[in-house]
Every structure is written in C-alpha cells, then in structure tokens.
C-alpha cells in the first residue's frame, strides 16, 4: 500500500487522496486571490470607462442569444439579469474553501462584493438585497440605518450557519459606503476578518481574462468573431458540423466545448500547462452545435486565455497585472501567494455531507 499522506495515488483502480483542484483554481478560469474592497474597484472602473471604451463595455454587458433567439443569461463573461427594473451584472466563484459573489448595478454605480472562506454557499440574493438598500428612492447620503440592519443580519448569519469568515464591500454612486469583515479569517489564531481579508475568488477570475481580451480587441489585435484557429492553429476539437469557434462564443458559454478539459480537471494529479490543457481538447467533441445552447465551460475560458497569451507572447497573469490590477491599485490581488498576501489569506473550509466542517486543502 502506498503512503496515502503523499500526493494523489491510484491503487487497484481507485483514486485516493485526489486533489480537490479544478480549473476554477487555475489561470485563466480561476486562480486569482483578492479582497472585497479590491473587487468593487474593478466594478467601478468597468462602469466608468477606465478599462474599456463605451462600445466594448456595452458589448460586454449585452445579453447573448442562441440561434433560436433564447437569451443565455450571459454577456461576454458576465452574468446578466434584471431586478426591480434595473440591469444587474454579476458573477460568482466557488471552489474548495471559498464562495464569492460580485454584483454591479450600472445605472446607479452600485456594486457589492461578498467573499467567504466556506465552500458551497450562494450569495447572489444577499448581494442583490444589499444593493437594493441603496437604490432610489432610498436616501443617497445617509447609509447608517441600512448598514446597521445589514451588520445585525449578517452577524446573525455568521453565528447561525457557523460561517468562519465573511467580508463585504458596498459601493454606491462609485463611492465605497461600507466595507467590513465578520468572523475570523484564521480560526486557530482568532484573527478577525476585515474588508481587506484575502480569499480565492474562483471563477470571478474569468472577468479579468475577458476584460484583458477585450482590451486587445479594442486595440485591433483580436477579433471576437474570427475563427479562433486564426490565433491557435493547433486547436482542433472534433466538430461534426464544422462550424468555426470564436472568442465571442467561448466568452458567452455558447461554443459547445466540454465543461472541463481532459487534463487539469478535478481528479488529475498533474499540473499541466495552459498549452497542454488546450491541446487536450483536441481529444474531445463539441457537445452541441455552437450557439444553439448555453453550457458553462471552464475549458472554453482556458482557450480564451491561451489566445491572450499567444497574441501577447507573454503570460496571462502579467498582462492582467499590467492592465487591470496595477492601474486600479488592486494591491491585495494576486495570482500567487506572496509574502504580502499570505498573512491576510483566509483559511479555507469545507463541509461533509452531514454538515461537519473541515479545513480545505491549501493551494499555494
């Protein structure tokens, strides 16, 4: 018997000690570490034209449709919905030891970021409710009553659901009006969580990939509707209909690609490169004709990221750092656990099927 305290083992056809590790933890579909305060900076910058011009920003936030005319619920990366008559732009992130929700109401410049170090929690409704508290006709200048109610409600949730840590930041009219943490980012040391506590954001990372690609589209270096093989000639998944795949299809989850790539998935013990991950898709077939359905695909965002790197002849994290993180002073956001980030990183937690809590694996 092999040592099961070591890495992943395959023994007599069974997987032991498999890493709870998927593409939501890896660049370009995941991998980012950030804070609630940093994420609302992204929302404000996107909404005020600091990252993209008006034309591409509108494309990014325009709902895409299938060939039958059915709305997909996605723009270019972002999830789109209407609540109380207003457009709501959002994306969630989930992986081992973290749950994140990020909401923006463009009309009013309101955004909410909620981050928690427990897997499997749904915060979309909570984020929307928080945003609604500062929507017209609510008073735009005094937030004390709303914040007091929120603080009491969230503290109750933390205690009732035994949430280890949760951090929230609220922006209204492009200004931060509330940012706070609850619980403990490190239960062993009883370190209080704050708005600057660092969490892994999971699939919210995809928004950074999509914006970085759209910046190159704006520069005329990429075309959203070109055959993606124009940029990645070696990308040849099996397509019975022979329809070319495009960046637009992949960014809006209408490409027909499988959800996860054959390598680098949930139970793969290796750490394949992005090129190897994309190459493995040549062994797959499209699961539906492009643009006829909507199917969330981590694999598709891997291809989008590979196009970005090929066009730049550089790394995705470096580009995101140069064009998004640094200009917006998202100083606590990173794709690696740096010495500056490590002390603020929340310990991740998961639950068993019967509700017991255990510490999530550490991914460095």
Based on the domain organization, do 62 and 167 belong to the same domain?
Answer: yes
Q: Within a domain: residue 13?
A: no
Q: What is the pLDDT of residue 4?
A: 36
How many whole angstroms separate alpha carbon 139 and alpha carbon 120?
Answer: 34
Residue for token pair 């998935």: 265
Residues 219 and 165 grouped into a single domain = no
Gyration radius (Cα) of the chain, Å? 20
Q: Classify residue 59: in a domain, yes or no.
A: yes
* Same domain? 179 vs 232: no
1 domain-assigned: no
User: Do 191 and 219 fall into the same domain?
Assistant: no
Q: Report yes or no on 3 lying in a domain.
A: no
Q: Which contiguous run of DSSP H or E holds residue 167?
A: strand 165-172
Together in a domain, 183 and 265: no
Residue 16 lies in a domain: no
Check residue 5 and give its pLDDT: 37
Based on the domain organization, do 181 and 259 belong to the same domain? no
Q: In whole angstroms, what is the distance from residue 282 CA to residue 307 CA?
A: 16
- 14 found inside a domain: no
What's residue 191's pLDDT? 94
> 128 in the Ramachandran plot: left (φ > 0), alpha (ψ -120 to 50) or beta?
alpha
Domain count, the chain: 2
**Model pLDDT, residue 15:** 44
The token duo for 36 is 């609630």
pLDDT averaged over 10-residue windows placed end to end, the chain, 364 residues: 40 48 70 95 95 96 96 96 91 91 94 94 90 72 83 89 93 90 91 95 95 98 98 94 95 95 72 90 95 95 96 93 96 90 91 81 63
- The reply to whether 190 and 291 lie within a common domain is no
For residue 5, being part of any structural domain is answered with no
Residue 167 lies in a domain: yes
Tokens read off for 305: 């990221």
> How do residues 85-101 score in pLDDT, each as one tens digit?
899 999 999 888 899 99
Q: Provide the residue range defining the domain that includes 266.
A: 207-325
Q: Considering only the C-alpha atoms of the chain, give the largest distance between any 2 of them, rounded to a whole number of Å.
A: 67
Q: What CATH number is given to the structural domain containing 313?
A: 3.40.710.10
Do 106 and 226 share a domain, yes or no? no
Q: Are 222 and 340 contained in the same domain? A: no
51 and 155, same domain (yes or no):
yes
Which pLDDT does position 275 carry in this prediction? 92
Whether 79 and 144 map to the same domain: the answer is yes
pLDDT tens for 312-356 read 999 999 999 999 999 999 999 999 888 888 899 999 998 887 778
Written as one string, the DSSP assignment of 227-243 is: -GGGT-TT---B-TT-P
What are the strands, taking DSSP E only, across 26-144? 33-34, 79-83, 86-95, 98-105, 110-116
For residues 307 and 321, state if they share a domain.
yes
């Amino acid at each position: 018997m092999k040592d099961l305290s070591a890495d992943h083992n395959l023994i007599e056809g069974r997987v032991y000690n498999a890493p709870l590790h998927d593409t939501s933890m890896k660049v370009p579909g995941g991998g980012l570490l950030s804070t609630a305060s940093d994420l609302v900076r992204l929302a404000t910058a996107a909404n005020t034209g600091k990252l993209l011009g008006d034309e591409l920003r509108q494309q990014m936030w325009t709902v895409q449709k299938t060939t039958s005319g059915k709305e997909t619920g996605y723009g270019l990366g972002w999830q789109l919905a209407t609540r109380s008559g207003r457009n709501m732009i959002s994306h969630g992130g989930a992986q081992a030891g973290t749950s994140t929700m990020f909401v923006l109401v463009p009309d009013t410049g309101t955004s909410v970021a909620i981050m928690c170090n427990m897997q499997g929690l749904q915060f979309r409704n909570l984020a929307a409710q928080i945003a609604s508290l500062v929507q017209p006709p609510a008073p735009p200048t005094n937030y004390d009553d709303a914040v007091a109610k929120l603080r009491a409600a969230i503290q109750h949730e933390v205690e009732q659901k035994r949430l280890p840590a949760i951090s929230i930041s609220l922006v209204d009219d492009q200004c931060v009006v509330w940012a706070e943490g609850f619980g403990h980012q490190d239960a062993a040391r009883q370190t209080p969580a704050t708005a600057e506590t660092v969490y892994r954001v999971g699939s919210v990372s995809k928004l950074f990939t999509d914006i970085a690609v759209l910046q190159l589209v704006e520069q005329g270096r990429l075309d959203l509707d070109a055959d993606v093989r124009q940029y990645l000639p070696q990308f040849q998944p099996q397509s019975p209909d022979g329809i070319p795949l495009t960046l637009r299809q992949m960014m809006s989850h209408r490409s027909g690609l499988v959800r996860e790539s054959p390598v680098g998935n949930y139970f793969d013990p290796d750490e394949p490169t992005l090129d190897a991950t994309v190459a493995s898709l040549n062994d797959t077939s499209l699961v539906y004709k492009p643009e006829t359905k909507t199917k969330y695909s981590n694999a598709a965002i891997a291809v989008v990221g590979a196009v970005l790197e090929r066009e730049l002849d550089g790394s995705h994290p470096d580009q995101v750092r140069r064009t998004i993180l640094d200009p917006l002073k998202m100083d606590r956001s990173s794709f690696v656990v740096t010495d500056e980030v490590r002390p603020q990183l929340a310990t991740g937690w998961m639950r068993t099927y019967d509700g017991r809590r255990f510490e999530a694996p550490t991914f460095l």
